[in-house]
Structure 1
Amino acid sequence: MTETIILRAVALTHVRYRKGDDLGHALAWASLLPVFIGLGGFVTHFIFRRELQAFCFGLGLIVSEVINQVIKELVQEVRPATCEALEMCDSHGWPSSHSQYMCFFAVYATLLSVRRLQFADELRKVFTALLPWPFALTVMYSRVYLGYHTTSQVIAGGCLGLILGSLWYFFINVIVAPWFPALENTFLCRYLRIKDSSHIPDVIGFEYKNSRAAQTDLDSQNEGKISKD
């Protein structure tokens, strides 16, 4: 007698849409934004930038996801009827983790841009503060359009993300951030070059000018060696 093997897909990247639906196809890709932000964004950013603020931001998103899973297990609200075609009926739908993630990300990024980071001009600050919200709303809409969640599940996830993101921002930047200088002086942070640059006005411009100055000095040294030769 042949044993039936039941297979499951990894829900993190397993997004389905109706064949021939171009909007659904685009929204399926948009639905993967939390994966792109978490893996492509935060991991890459921390490897190359090594900022304490980014580390705390990413840690908050992980905490938010854990809270989301705990609430789902407690509430156990089923997904919409379309879950069968999507192979998602064995997981709970309230609150939407994608919506919670994106709203947490958006509100933290906005508060960070408006209250802590320093920009070269006001236009850049406003642009950076508003940038996450169209993406957050697109992901929320995609979860309903593709049939993964009901509207109420998406709204619940979004509201929870806004609350947790705001609370986490003030926890990090009011309670934890004053300790950043002490953390920067620890052996681990000095060894791994972990820092906090949020106090530097226009940090991108600051790094660019210093990089150009270093390159100019190097060119001058090379020209001096060539002249001596």
Structure 2
Amino acid sequence: MEDPPLASLSLTHVHYNPFDRVSYLCAWLALVPQGLCVIYATLIWSNREIEIMLMFAGQMGCEALNWLLKRYIKEERPREMHGKGYGMPSSHAQFVTFFSVTLTFFLLFRHVPHPTETHTPFSFIQRLLLSVLALASAAAVAASRIYLNYHTPKQVLVGCAAGAISAVLWFGFTTYLRRAGWVEWALETELARLARVRDLVVQEDLVDSGWARWVERRSRANGLRKQQ
């Protein structure tokens, strides 16, 4: 019996020109959505923040929308592309646009960090610069899909538009959930308590992340040592 032919895992299989440095960089940019999913999972498991859970839920909803749009429009990828699946709209462009726009809205309109004795949170200007960096990074990922011939410019632009519209609608929906008290209700459920779900990141700076509590604990420990 001959061994069966091996298959390629298309999740990370990216075609690029090995003699073109820009093409090589674009191949790495193609892995950004997978990296963001790892970051989502890590933050949800370690921080249990409901804001991150809501953002991830919206991200998965945006992916579901992309799946439906591709199978409704049924537009092929560029001829130079050797992969499979439809190309309209670009899932990479839609994914990173949703992430960057949602992150921008959070940093500029929802995130109001309070200073502590040991930490000064990011100012509005710093959060604005971080938002611009996120949007620029998303633009780089989207452009890489054109450079690698995975998508046409139109497919990428439609993907960006779908991601941006999804982000606006999802942010508006989560804003309603907060103002109507649904988020607070969910946090009081037994399941949320068992999972240790919290809602601190809206007012607690991302960089601080418990640092003030750690410094206070160390100060108390050092004070006890000096008394002894």
TM bucket by the smaller chain?
0.7 to 0.9
Instruction: Report the CA distance between 1:188 and its aligned residue.
Output: 2.1
Aligned to 2:117: none
1:124 aligns with 2:122: no
Checking the alignment, whether the CA contact within 8 Å between 1:180 and 1:196 is kept in structure 2 is: no
Which amino acid in structure 2 is aligned with residue 213 of structure 1? Answer: E
Aligned to 1:20: 19
2:187 and 2:213 map into 1 onto residues whose CA distance is 21
1:52 and 1:11 map into 2 onto residues whose CA distance is 32
Across the aligned residues of Structure 1 and Structure 2, the Cα RMSD in angstroms comes to 2.1
Checking the alignment, whether the CA contact within 8 Å between 1:68 and 1:95 is kept in structure 2 is: yes
Instruction: Report the CA distance between 1:68 and its aligned residue.
Output: 0.5
Aligned to 1:174: 176
| Structure 1 length-normalised TM | 0.87
1:95 and 1:170 map into 2 onto residues whose CA distance is 23
Q: What pairs up with 1:205-216 in 2 under 5 angstroms? A: 205=208, 207-216=210-219
1:73 and 1:100 map into 2 onto residues whose CA distance is 15
Identity %: 26
Paired residue secondary structure (1:17): coil
1:135 and 1:122 map into 2 onto residues whose CA distance is 20
2:73 and 2:3 map into 1 onto residues whose CA distance is 31
Which amino acid in structure 2 is aligned with residue 94 of structure 1? Answer: M
Moved >3 Å (runs of 4+): 2-8, 201-206, 221-224
**Higher normalized helix content (fraction of residues):** 1
Aligned to 1:94: 88
Paired residue secondary structure (1:220): helix
Checking the alignment, whether the CA contact within 8 Å between 1:30 and 1:139 is kept in structure 2 is: yes
2:76 and 2:209 map into 1 onto residues whose CA distance is 51
Change (3 A) 1:101 1:199: closer
Which amino acid in structure 2 is aligned with residue 167 of structure 1? Answer: L
Checking the alignment, whether the CA contact within 8 Å between 1:116 and 1:198 is kept in structure 2 is: no
2:207 and 2:40 map into 1 onto residues whose CA distance is 17
Change (3 A) 1:116 1:101: same
- Structure 2: unaligned runs, 5 residues or longer: 114-120
Instruction: Report the CA distance between 1:206 and its aligned residue.
Output: 7.1
Which amino acid in structure 1 is aligned with residue 109 of structure 2? Answer: R
1:208 and 1:185 map into 2 onto residues whose CA distance is 26
Paired residue secondary structure (2:210): helix
1:25 and 1:182 map into 2 onto residues whose CA distance is 48
| Structure 2 length-normalised TM | 0.88
Aligned to 1:79: 77
- Structure 1: unaligned runs, 5 residues or longer: none
Checking the alignment, whether the CA contact within 8 Å between 1:197 and 1:203 is kept in structure 2 is: no
Which amino acid in structure 1 is aligned with residue 92 of structure 2? Answer: H
Checking the alignment, whether the CA contact within 8 Å between 2:177 and 2:183 is kept in structure 1 is: no
Change (3 A) 1:77 1:171: same
Aligned to 2:100: 106
1:152 aligns with 2:161: no
